[in-house]
Amino acid sequence: MAGSERPRLLLVGGAGGFVGRALLPELETEYAIRSLHREPAPVETGRVEWLRGDVAGGVDWGRALSGVQVVVNLAWYRWASPERFDRLSIGLARLLDAATRARVRRFLQVSVPPAPEAMERSLPYLTGKRRFDRALAASGLSYRIVRPTMLFGPHDVLVSQMMRLMHRYPFFPMFGDGEYHVSPVAVDDLARLLRREAGRETVGTLDVGGPRRYRYRELTDGMFAALGKRPRYWRMSPRSALRLTRTMVFLGSTLLYPYEVEWLTSDLLGLPPFGGLDRPMQPVEPYLDAVAARLRGRRAG
């Protein structure tokens, strides 16, 4: 199909973010893309039309949605004040209204897996997200809420940061016994899944785990092994880890937030593998080797 004849797809926030960078090349083969967020990103060249817009502020959704058949929302904050979460959540509700009026064919929302009850009840990061997810499910649109667990891939802010710390310092913090589970998903696999979902009609929520479920400690041991180092841990109770991350946030660090420690140690992040893709999902080990090679190359350089 010629470029101008391809159906239009709108990405709301995120094409410049971690997931967006993987998603754009995946979608470009099938869709003409309009990407709305605040700052232009290096991947938004050529056939991608970037619209400057803050979803939490005023967006002319009539214009942004004109000719759009599929909406994919990635916009959310990893850390913000309750007021900022509120504003973004209200902005997303406006988008949903406009998308319903415009009768878009499909609406995909990237959300997050289930969290401990107390967090689901009171953490603005989750309450705002779930409010939007519920509104989408009740909108009458053809929708899919995709909830991947921990993601890895180029520009990730978790796996590569953990390995950087292991590479640099003699000890790595271990929260509790490390027996809780994780099942990392390659961001490219999430991108393929979203492309598949954009073209389908099945509605509902899809929880997505990677091809293998690890004990957390097993994964961190694997990271040390990729770096050619013997695992050495600085053990701390989950409660001390919460205190540590609160102090880190207070000092301006964006490495890890207290709610992420609570979620991780709650043993809810080891989602079962998702089997619905055309190719097997990617294991994490080659990525660990690639990050390790980069870190070791940097030190050698």
Ligand X SMILES: NC(=O)c1ccc[n+]([C@@H]2O[C@H](COP(=O)([O-])OP(=O)(O)OC[C@H]3O[C@@H](n4cnc5c(N)ncnc54)[C@H](OP(=O)(O)O)[C@@H]3O)[C@@H](O)[C@H]2O)c1
* Contacts with ligand X, residue ranges (CB under 6 A): 13-14, 16-20, 37-39, 54-56, 74-78, 88, 110, 112, 148, 150-151
In the complex with ligand X, the residue whose CB is nearer, 4 or 71, is: 71
Report the residue closest to ligand X, judged by CB: 17
Q: How far apart are CA 78 and CA 96, in angstroms?
A: 21
Q: Which of 4, 3, 63, 74 is nearest to 37 (CA)?
A: 74
Min. distance of Cβ 4 from ligand X in angstroms?
26
3-state secondary structure of 300: helix
In the complex with ligand X, the residue whose CB is nearer, 81 or 237, is: 81
Min. distance of Cβ 120 from ligand X in angstroms?
15
Min. distance of Cβ 16 from ligand X in angstroms?
4
Q: Where are the alpha helices (DSSP H) in 34-180?
A: 61-64, 82-101, 117-122, 124-137, 159-168
In the complex with ligand X, the residue whose CB is nearer, 148 or 270, is: 148
In the complex with ligand X, the residue whose CB is nearer, 148 or 176, is: 148
Min. distance of Cβ 36 from ligand X in angstroms?
6
Min. distance of Cβ 19 from ligand X in angstroms?
3
Which tokens is 289 given?
A: 């080797």
DSSP H or E segment with residue 188? helix 187-198
In the complex with ligand X, the residue whose CB is nearer, 34 or 37, is: 37
Alpha-carbon distances of 296 from 164, 249, 284, rounded to whole Å: 10, 28, 18
117 class by beta-carbon count within 10 Å (0-12 exposed, 13-18 middle, 19+ buried)? exposed
Q: How far apart are CA 38 and CA 253, in angstroms?
A: 23
Tally Cβ neighbours within 10 Å of residue 4. Answer: 7
In the complex with ligand X, the residue whose CB is nearer, 240 or 257, is: 257
Min. distance of Cβ 48 from ligand X in angstroms?
13
Min. distance of Cβ 228 from ligand X in angstroms?
26
Which tokens is 84 given?
A: 């900022």
Min. distance of Cβ 59 from ligand X in angstroms?
8
Query: E-assigned strands of the chain?
Result: 8-12, 32-37, 48-52, 68-73, 106-110, 143-148, 151-152, 172-175, 181-182, 185-186, 204-208, 214-215, 233-236
In the complex with ligand X, the residue whose CB is nearer, 116 or 231, is: 116
Tally Cβ neighbours within 10 Å of residue 48. Answer: 20
In the complex with ligand X, the residue whose CB is nearer, 94 or 215, is: 94
